[in-house]
Amino acid sequence: MTAFAAPIAEQIWDMKYRFKDADGTPVDETVEDTWRRIARDLAKVEDNPAQWEETFYDALADFKYLPAGRIIAGAGTKRSVTLFNCFVMGTIPDDMGGIFQMLKEAALTMQQGGGIGYDFSTIRPKGADVKGVAADASGPLSFMDVWDAMCRTIMSAGSRRGAMMATMRCDHPDVEAFIAAKQDAARLRMFNLSVLITDPFMEAVKADGPWDLVFDGKVYKTVQALDLWNKIMRGTYDYAEPGVIFIDRINAANNLSYVEQIAATNPCGEQPLPPYGACLLGSINMARLVDRPFEDGADLDEAKLTELVSVAVRMMDNVVDASKFPLEEQAREAHAKRRIGLGVTGLADALLMVGSRYGSEEAARLTERWLHAVARAAYLASVDLAKEKGAFPLFDAEAYLASGTMQAMDKDVREAIREHGIRNALLTSIAPTGTISLYAGNVSSGIEPVFAYAYTRKVLQKDGSRTEEEVVDYAVQMWRDKFGDVELPEYFVNAQTLAPLDHVRMQAAAQKWVDSSISKTINCPEDISFNDFKDVYMEAWDTGCKGCTTYRPNAVTGSVLSVSESADTTPSENPETATDGDVIYMSEPLDRPAELEGQTYKVKWPDSEHAIYITINDIVLNGHRRPFEVFINSKNMEHFAWTVALTRMISAVFRRGGDVSFVVEELKAVFDPRGGAWMNGKYIPSILAAIGGVIEKHMIATGFIAGEGMGLKTDPHAQVVNLSGNRGPACPSCGQYDLRMVEGCMTCGSCGHSKCG
């Protein structure tokens, strides 16, 4: 028997969390070994480590408590890695030396795999005077380009990818350029962007009043607040960026408002953090705590929930002492406040098990009740830890209890804190759980609705072949096991069939008892009107949310998988002779015809003596033209070896068939640390990226792909159960068409790869 509820769970464990030697030999023979490793490592700081090891192991067993992925992968391995997921870096000074010192700190943090957040509002706007050098400032966006290049460099060195979040205040003079920055598909690809929205700005929006853009006391420009709001909304409507963070609301609610000011968040937005703040994450698996699922009287076992939360808080508090930190400033900040972010996953599955429709008023009431129980148990557990081990060093009872969040807390909890103190300054957060939810048996992620009831994924075998396996949502599988393969009740809803305002209702219900914030995506239909789209954000503001992230599939953002009751799941008997789409899957490469049609393109790279010539020849199969081979030539002998290698590798890929558009994205993502170049008004990070752009241009011209940054138009052999058709690009890790926007982060349902690391 295996502890895993689904094959994909075991595969995720093996790929991402299983401890292995440097040569790939497993140290963790079973997942129970992984649980034991984590439990032992986090118990070592206790006075009675053997006792607490068993308690911690029991919490981890059966996937009841799910530490964040970095803890699962790193705890007890003796590797020099941080167990914290992400950081907000120090305040960027408005001078060149300070800016590049911050860049160095960011690089060191990302080298250890941590995602980072930065507020760029502190840098003077473009065109402002630079005293002493008789020059104009280049502005914060120019330095964001430098950060972006640094992130590419770190990635090219083989380090684990860590995402970056950039924020800018809504009153900064360069905010309009910030809003539009990522509308250039080649710019700031390593960043998520969010605008810091203040209370006065929202009041001005509602009143259609004027709004000053100010830096260092000087008004640079006055705009209409509603016009600026509409620019933000239009950006996220068309490009899914920027996000919106209600920063004044965050600071008013913050338990630590008496010692810190927040101006940035981690990359997914669920952890608003001060300078050098770090997010320590973990989730209670609600799907494992429902008593009598799908029966009359089914309900969450709140006694078990309370007990599990208490143990999880203790484990997370121990991580603060067990973890390494990239920077000493981060270690000091973590130990001074002992901030943790305990959240939940499997909420939507738990709601299904008790017969409640996600997004309904009943589901919102249940969500509020359950998360109230989590918050209450977490705070009382932290009080108990304070009795035993002491309160966090910066604790001030009256100041702490005066915060917005603590004023809403239960009276007995407030009195316990006043009397005994509290170990952890903040305790709750809803983090992205895309990968760990797969590891736990494909439970629903965080507080998101079920994305899909079931789908099939292609699994690459060691011999190079691919097999197909069905991936079923945890609650749906439980329903099937109990009742057979019968029609699902009407309260089974998913992310694509929900109205956007139902998403907002659930986020607002959860936010009442989450002292940090929530990583959640509000899925919007492609045909939602712009005014209805804006109403989603206004509803998020009106109902008390701390931020809002939406995803509307379109030609720019790419489509996500959509629900279809009539999806045809019968594979073609002979895909090599399929006539209904562009993708041809082949077991052997095609033979080269005697003649091929093609085009030759010239690329003149700045500062290079000789141009590069790129010839792309196409083959026509079943009436569709697709790239077959590439020849790259240059008179510059310094280019000879790599151009020959690239010619052979790309041509070999093209001749195997399938979706080869990933070649474009891989080339365009290559960064040259010596510097790129501006070509035709766009910054190209390397000569390889320029070649990728040429191949992309050719693919668009021949109809192989629909447009810049897009994959193939159709894939007739992407077999999906209850899903079909509209989909975005392939996963850059496993190549499957299973990317989905979940909890504010593009995540692959097949391998767990996440843009956010």
Q: Which residue of the set 85, 251, 266, 442 is catalytic? A: 266
Confidence category of residue 545, pLDDT binned at 50, 70, 90 = very high
**Alpha-carbon distance 602 to 611, whole Å?**
7
Average pLDDT over residues 524-543: 95
pLDDT tens digits, 236-266? 999 999 999 999 999 999 999 999 999 999 9
The DSSP-derived string for 59-124 is HHGGGSEEE-HHHHHHTTS--S-BS--EEE-PPPPSSHHHHHHHHHHHHHHHHTT-EEEEEGGGSP
One-letter identity of residue 551: Y
Span between the terminal Cα atoms of the chain, in Å: 32
Contacts of 132 (CB under 8 A, 6+ apart): none
Confidence category of residue 460, pLDDT binned at 50, 70, 90 = low
Contacts of 489 (CB under 8 A, 6+ apart): 355
Average pLDDT score, the chain: 86
pLDDT at 684 over 90: no
Picking from 369, 389, 253, 395, the residue whose alpha carbon sits closest to that of residue 313 is: 389
pTM: 0.79
pLDDT at 713 over 60: no
Answer with the residue of higher pLDDT: 692 or 718: 692
pLDDT at 563 over 50: no
Give the pLDDT of residue 728. 55
Confidence category of residue 636, pLDDT binned at 50, 70, 90 = confident
Q: Find out whether 622 and 575 touch, Cβ atoms under 8 Å.
A: no
Q: Which residues pair with 448 in a beta bridge?
A: none
Average pLDDT over residues 174-187: 91
Give the pLDDT of residue 65. 98
Answer with the residue of higher pLDDT: 746 or 182: 182
**Alpha-carbon distance 608 to 615, whole Å?**
19
Give the pLDDT of residue 744. 67
Q: Which of 114-128, 538-552, 633-647, 728-742 has the lowest mean pLDDT?
A: 728-742
Most distant CA atoms of the chain, gap in Å: 87
The DSSP-derived string for 426-466 is --B-B---HHHHHHTTSPPPTTPPPS-SEEEEEEE-TTS-E
Q: Which residue of the set 10, 105, 260, 270 is catalytic? A: 270
**Alpha-carbon distance 78 to 81, whole Å?**
8
pLDDT at 566 over 90: no
pLDDT at 428 over 90: yes
Sheet holding 191-197, edge to edge: 278-279, 86-88, 115-119, 164-169, 191-197, 243-246, 547-548
pLDDT tens digits, 308-319? 999 999 999 999
pLDDT tens digits, 187-221? 888 899 999 999 999 999 999 999 999 999 999 99
Q: Find out whether 750 and 738 touch, Cβ atoms under 8 Å.
A: yes
Contacts of 390 (CB under 8 A, 6+ apart): 421, 423
Query: Tokens at residue 47, please?
Result: 């006075």
Q: Find out whether 113 and 278 touch, Cβ atoms under 8 Å.
A: no
415 is catalytic: no
**Alpha-carbon distance 82 to 65, whole Å?**
20
How far CA 560 is from CA of 244, 292, 435, 475, 564, in Å, comes to 22, 34, 18, 22, 13
Confidence category of residue 750, pLDDT binned at 50, 70, 90 = low
pLDDT at 456 over 90: no
Q: Which helix (H) or strand (E) holds 166?
A: strand 164-169
How far CA 108 is from CA of 114, 159, 255, 562, in Å, comes to 9, 11, 29, 40
Q: Find out whether 119 and 92 touch, Cβ atoms under 8 Å.
A: yes
> Could you give the angle at the alpha carbon of 684 between the alpha carbons of 679 and 685, nearest 5°?
150
Q: Which of 112-121, 296-305, 656-665 has the lowest mean pLDDT?
A: 656-665
**Alpha-carbon distance 185 to 455, whole Å?**
30
Confidence category of residue 51, pLDDT binned at 50, 70, 90 = very high
The DSSP-derived string for 602-624 is EE--TT-SS-EEEEEEEEEETTE
Is the bond preceding residue 7 a cis peptide, omega within 30 degrees?
Answer: no
**Alpha-carbon distance 744 to 142, whole Å?**
25
Q: Which of 32-36, 527-531, 709-713 has the lowest mean pLDDT?
A: 709-713
Give the pLDDT of residue 741. 73
Answer with the residue of higher pLDDT: 564 or 389: 389
pLDDT tens digits, 145-175? 999 888 877 765 444 556 899 999 999 999 9
> Could you give the angle at the alpha carbon of 502 between the alpha carbons of 500 and 506, nearest 5°?
120
pLDDT tens digits, 572-612? 333 232 223 333 334 456 677 778 888 999 988 876 677 88
Give the pLDDT of residue 731. 66
pLDDT at 127 over 50: yes
Answer with the residue of higher pLDDT: 223 or 8: 223
Confidence category of residue 725, pLDDT binned at 50, 70, 90 = very low
Contacts of 282 (CB under 8 A, 6+ apart): 65, 66, 67, 68, 71, 312, 315, 316, 340, 341, 342, 343
Q: Which helix (H) or strand (E) holds 472?
A: strand 466-472
Answer with the residue of higher pLDDT: 534 or 158: 534
Give the pLDDT of residue 316. 98
3-state secondary structure of 214: strand
Average pLDDT over residues 393-399: 97
Average pLDDT over residues 413-440: 95
Pick from 459-463, 625-629, 716-720 the range whose average pLDDT is largest: 625-629
E strands within 610-707? 612-621, 624-634, 677-679, 682-684
Q: Which residue of the set 86, 151, 170, 268 is catalytic? A: 268
266 is catalytic: yes
How far CA 96 is from CA of 121, 135, 460, in Å, comes to 15, 13, 49
